[in-house]
Structure 1
Amino acid sequence: MRTILCDTPNSLQIIERAIPSRAEDEVLIRVRRVGVCGTDLHIFKGDQPYLSYPHVMGHELSGTVEEAPAGSALSKGESVYVMPYMSCGTCRACKQGKTNCCYNIKVLGVHKDGGMADYIVVPQQYVKSAEGVSLDDAAMIEFLAIGAHAVRRSNAQPGSRVLVVGAGPIGMAAAIFATLRNAEVTILDTRESRLNFASQHLGVNHIVVAGEGDEARLSELTNGEFFDFVFDATGNPAAMTRGFRFVAHGGTYVLVSVVSSDITFSDPEFHKRETTLLGSRNATEEDFDLVVENIRAGKIPTAAMATHRLAFNEVPARFGELLDVSNPVVKALIEVA
């Protein structure tokens, strides 16, 4: 089978590997679509921590069942998506249902080789039917679930003032699910193309360009009180630190992005506002189910979000184009078959 290998940073090649053999509890999937994530771009650039090369990327996956265990509810040819977070099931987090932050978690495409290949084997418990959604849509469920999880963690309510900082796919996902809760949603980003996309397709209430005068504008939008819920999806330590200033008294700050850095804040301001600080990592099956339900209901503009497309054989030569800031990528999909 064809496999895209990142042998060193900034270098991809297509190699041939044997089709993987399926263990008794695993499903052999014919990969059909791979969504390109920010994590994949970091791996390609060489600035993803705790990663060794050579490496096979890809954790936003949809495909069709090639082989399934005897007695499985899955059938050959059925469209499926993959939950890429392999949890141990025995640690304290798993026993509390928090499989998304399992102590021994292994994420496809990060901790182990991913799905940029013709085939992949995945334990049956992480393979879910994509009935009622397209293969394109199914490959976008994972990043949408991350946003859904962050919003569920926050417990934002109808009428809540929500600020999403960072209008990449994860930030957009958070904005979508905050909007679905009937919150009043503002997005802050440096890229006007992303903000205009959010205004046109996501139904957000306000967009603000980050830079000179942005704090005054955010204050104006909230009568000087700022936001009940702030979600950071920037992956930028300075922005994450600055975001504390935008949390209203009694508000909640949700760090969705993660960086290899210390994040600091003013303790007097933190206590004065009685700020709630939350980390949000990955997603659970409940979040995936919510995403699928809303895609089926036509409440998520997945067709608009799939802005770029690469054929599998084009990836080594064209993958770097997705890093070009002048190229307004929201979500790129790789067509494997």
Structure 2
Amino acid sequence: MRALRCDEPGKLSIIERDEPVAGEGEALVRIRRVGICGTDYHIFHGNQPYFSYPRVIGHELSGEIVTAPEGSALRAGEIVSIKPYLYCGACRACRLGRTNCCQRLEVLGVHRDGGACDHIAVPVRNVVPAGGLGLDEAAMVEFLAIGAHGVRRSGAGAQSRVAVVGAGPIGIAAAIFAKARGADVSVIDMNARRLAFCADEIGVDSVYEVSADLDERLNAATDGDFFDVVFDATGSPAAMMKGFSLVGHGGSYVLLSIVNADITFNDPAFHKRETTLLGSRNATREDFETVLATMRAGKVPTRALASHRGSLDEAPQLVPAWSKPEAGVIKGLIEI
């Protein structure tokens, strides 16, 4: 079968490899869509933490069931989304039900070969039926679930004033699910085109393009209170550290970004506000189900999110092109 492999930084190729064989407790899935995300671009450019080459990429996956174990509720031909976080089920995090931060976690396409290929065998517990949704929608569940997970951890609700800093796919996901909870949502970014997308397609309440007077503008817009919940989705250490100053007294700061750097903050300012600081990693099955339900309710602009697409054979040329800001990609989908 074919697979998309990153051989080394800056080099992608289509390789041939053996078809997988489903083991005990595994389903065999014919992959039909692969979403390309920031992690894949970081892998291509050589700046993804916890990564070794060569590696078959792809962790935003949808497909059709080929075979499933006897007794499984999965049916041949059923459209499914794949939860790419392979967890041990035995460590402290797993015992607490927080399989998204398993101590032995392996993510498809990062720690082990991923799903940008014709077929993959995965544990049944990692397969989530799409329930009447299509292949495009099912492939976008994973990145949306990361935003949904962060919003759930934050406790944001109808009385919350929320700021999302960074309008890439993960920031967009956080904005979608904060809006779904009834929050007043502002999005902050340097890219006017992405801000326009958030306003036009998500219906966020306010957008702010980064400028020298941003603090003054936010101060005026919030009567000096700033925000109940701030989400960082920038992937920038400088922006992550700056975000502490946007949190209002008694507020929360949620770091959706992960960077290979130390993040520091001013302790007196942190304590003065009694700030709650939260890390948010990956997503759980509950978050996948939340995304699917929100999609079925028509509250996720999936057609607008899927801005670019191409075939698996084209992927070695498309992924580098999509990684450039001027390409205007929101979410690129590889069709198989």
Q: TM-score range by the shorter chain?
A: over 0.9
**Distance in 1 (alpha carbons) for counterparts of 2:236 and 2:104:** 26
Q: How many residues are aligned here?
A: 336
Residues 152-301 of structure 1: matches in 2 within 5 Å? Answer: 152-301=152-301
Q: Which amino acid aligns with 1:125?
A: R
Indicate the residue corresponding to 1:317 in structure 2.
Answer: 317
2:8 corresponds to 1:8: yes
Cα deviation, 1:287-307, whole Å, max 9, x if unaligned, reads 111000011111111111000
Cα displacement (A) at 1:211: 2.3
SS of equivalent residue, structure 1 residue 121: strand
**Distance in 1 (alpha carbons) for counterparts of 2:86 and 2:317:** 31
Indicate the residue corresponding to 1:47 in structure 2.
Answer: 47
Indicate the residue corresponding to 2:143 in structure 1.
Answer: 143
**Distance in 1 (alpha carbons) for counterparts of 2:323 and 2:125:** 34
**Distance in 2 (alpha carbons) for counterparts of 1:29 and 1:84:** 13
Cα displacement (A) at 1:67: 1.3
Compute the TM-score of the two structures, normalised by the length of structure 1.
Answer: 0.98
Q: Which amino acid aligns with 2:140?
A: M
SS of equivalent residue, structure 2 residue 136: helix
SS of equivalent residue, structure 2 residue 112: coil
Cα displacement (A) at 1:233: 0.4
SS of equivalent residue, structure 2 residue 258: coil
**Distance in 2 (alpha carbons) for counterparts of 1:254 and 1:75:** 38
Identity %: 57
SS of equivalent residue, structure 1 residue 110: coil
Indicate the residue corresponding to 1:90 in structure 2.
Answer: 90
Say if 2:309 and 2:335, in contact at 8 Å, map to a contact too.
Answer: yes
SS of equivalent residue, structure 2 residue 314: helix
Cα displacement (A) at 1:230: 0.3
Residues 54-73 of structure 1: matches in 2 within 5 Å? Answer: 54-73=54-73
Q: Which amino acid aligns with 2:273?
A: R
Indicate the residue corresponding to 1:306 in structure 2.
Answer: 306
2:27 corresponds to 1:27: yes
Q: Which amino acid aligns with 1:139?
A: A
**Distance in 1 (alpha carbons) for counterparts of 2:186 and 2:214:** 12
**Distance in 2 (alpha carbons) for counterparts of 1:311 and 1:159:** 44
**Distance in 1 (alpha carbons) for counterparts of 2:98 and 2:17:** 35
Say if 2:36 and 2:319, in contact at 8 Å, map to a contact too.
Answer: no
Cα deviation, 1:154-180, whole Å, max 9, x if unaligned, reads 001212110000000000110011111
Compute the TM-score of the two structures, normalised by the length of structure 2.
Answer: 0.99
Say if 2:307 and 2:332, in contact at 8 Å, map to a contact too.
Answer: yes
Cα displacement (A) at 1:216: 1.2
Indicate the residue corresponding to 1:125 in structure 2.
Answer: 125
SS of equivalent residue, structure 2 residue 49: coil
Mark the runs of 5 or more structure 1 residues left unpaired by the alignment: none
**Distance in 1 (alpha carbons) for counterparts of 2:287 and 2:5:** 30
**Distance in 2 (alpha carbons) for counterparts of 1:193 and 1:152:** 27
Q: Which amino acid aligns with 1:274?
A: E
**Distance in 2 (alpha carbons) for counterparts of 1:5 and 1:59:** 13
Q: Which amino acid aligns with 1:3?
A: A
Cα displacement (A) at 1:316: 1.1
2:74 corresponds to 1:103: no
SS of equivalent residue, structure 2 residue 219: helix
Q: Which amino acid aligns with 2:270?
A: F
**Distance in 2 (alpha carbons) for counterparts of 1:95 and 1:317:** 43
SS of equivalent residue, structure 2 residue 55: coil
SS of equivalent residue, structure 2 residue 234: coil
SS of equivalent residue, structure 1 residue 326: helix
Q: Which runs of 4+ in 1 moved over 6 A?
A: none
Q: Which amino acid aligns with 1:283?
A: A
Q: Which amino acid aligns with 1:156?
A: A
Q: Which amino acid aligns with 2:114?
A: G
Q: Which amino acid aligns with 2:220?
A: E
Indicate the residue corresponding to 1:115 in structure 2.
Answer: 115
Say if 2:81 and 2:139, in contact at 8 Å, map to a contact too.
Answer: yes
Cα displacement (A) at 1:218: 1.2
Say if 2:227 and 2:251, in contact at 8 Å, map to a contact too.
Answer: yes
> Which region of structure 1 is more displaced relative to structure 2, 310-319 or 244-253?
310-319
Q: Which amino acid aligns with 1:159?
A: Q
SS of equivalent residue, structure 2 residue 66: strand
**Distance in 2 (alpha carbons) for counterparts of 1:95 and 1:260:** 28
**Distance in 1 (alpha carbons) for counterparts of 2:242 and 2:101:** 26
Cα displacement (A) at 1:285: 0.9
Say if 2:22 and 2:28, in contact at 8 Å, map to a contact too.
Answer: yes
Say if 2:241 and 2:263, in contact at 8 Å, map to a contact too.
Answer: yes
Cα displacement (A) at 1:130: 1.2
Cα displacement (A) at 1:32: 0.1
Cα displacement (A) at 1:318: 2.2
